[in-house]
Amino acid sequence: MWSIGIYGGESPFSLRAHESARNPVLTRESVSDVSAAFVADPFMLRVGAVWYMFFEVLNRQTNRGEIGLATSGDGFEWTYRRIVLSEPFHLSYPYVFEWGGEYYMTPETLDAGAVRLYRAEDFPSRWTHVSTLVETGCADPSVFRFGGRWWMFACPTPYRHDTLRLYSSEELTGIWMEHAASPIVSGDMSKARPAGRVLVSGNSVTRFAQDCVLAYGMQVRAFEIYELDADVYAEREHPRSPVLKASGAGWNGQRMHHLDAHATPDGRWIACVDGFDACGL
């Protein structure tokens, strides 16, 4: 039902299906080592000349999410590799990032009752749990570095999609505390649940949120954070929001609920996204 595509544009707020990609670039049929119900929640990193994409694979046999890996030389044609992380509980939303020459991941580990941090022991294929950031089950934890601190958005109401909490820490594996203004969204399904990587550029921070008013993951909205410190949080919706909508037909005909956007050397942007079609491809 959920599949993965590649979008592009002049900015993260003007994305459309990339002309060089044959979307969807990854589907459940791409997965070769388990029987997959769908693929979703893609995150990618470019390391050297290779793009690495991590994403949820829902295993039909266990009915649990696992983390799959695909690679690409150009960002448009992708080859599925294998499952790189599985646990006795559901995994999704493999938010992957680099820090201090190491690669980390904060996948959704809601069923474990905590937000867990993993580090690549052998990137990209072997990951180890190294720390528990928050002893609370949260959906879609989204970590970013800003103003000399670590910050994290997370949704503690995954079945209502209506609350967004904010945490911070001086160190990635340090003590994480909830922000004074948290929850920053409460009782609003239109903008609470995270929808992909938080973008940080200088003093600019943008978060993306799923709009779940009509149904789970209908579209993606963007919010500019214009005040963020230990005591204050303030945001406004980007004038071009929503930035992702269902196409009305095909692999993403009914919903789109996730994006991970990256700047390219030519000044444009490339993003991995996902889409839903209840009727199949």
Instruction: Identify whether 142 is part of a domain.
Output: yes
Cα 158–118–263 angle (5° rounding)? 80
Distance CA 240, CA 49 (A): 32
Q: Is the peptide bond before 24 cis (omega within 30 degrees of 0)?
A: yes
Task: Please list, residue by residue across 175-193, b when 16 or more beta carbons sit within 10 angstroms of its beta carbon and e when fewer do.
Answer: ebeebeebbbbeebbbbbb
State whether residue 197 is helix, strand or coil.
coil
Token pair of 80 as six digits: 């599925």
Q: What is the DSSP letter of 216?
A: T
Q: Which residues pair with 162 in a beta bridge?
A: none
Identify the pLDDT of residue 279: 72
- Which has the closest alpha carbon to 241: 214, 258, 221, 265? 221
Identify the pLDDT of residue 155: 98
Q: pLDDT in tens for each of the 281 residues of the chain?
A: 899 999 999 999 999 999 999 999 999 999 999 999 999 999 999 999 999 999 999 999 999 999 999 999 999 999 999 999 999 999 999 999 999 999 999 999 999 999 999 999 999 999 999 999 999 999 999 999 999 999 999 999 999 999 999 999 999 999 999 999 999 999 999 999 999 999 999 999 999 999 999 999 999 999 999 999 999 999 999 999 999 999 999 999 999 999 999 999 999 999 999 999 987 54
Distance CA 145, CA 230 (A): 13
Instruction: Identify whether 281 is part of a domain.
Output: no
Domain containing residue 145: CATH number? 2.115.10.20
Tokens 């000044």 belong to: 267
What is the distance, to the nearest Å, from the Cα of residue 92 to the centroid of all Cα atoms in its chain? 9
Tell me how far CA of residue 257 lies from CA of 22, 42, 158, 218, 219, in angstroms.
20, 11, 14, 6, 5
Q: How many domains does the chain have?
A: 1
- Which long-range contacts link 8-13 to residues 24+ away (Cβ below 8 Å)? 8/268, 8/269, 8/270, 8/271, 9/268, 9/269, 9/271, 10/268, 10/269, 11/269, 12/199, 12/206, 12/222, 12/243, 12/259, 12/261, 12/269, 12/271, 13/222, 13/238, 13/240, 13/241, 13/243
**Where is 38: in which H helix or E strand?**
strand 36-47
State whether residue 33 is helix, strand or coil.
coil
Identify the pLDDT of residue 173: 97
Range of the domain at 123: 2-276
The answer, as to whether pTM is greater than 0.85, is: yes
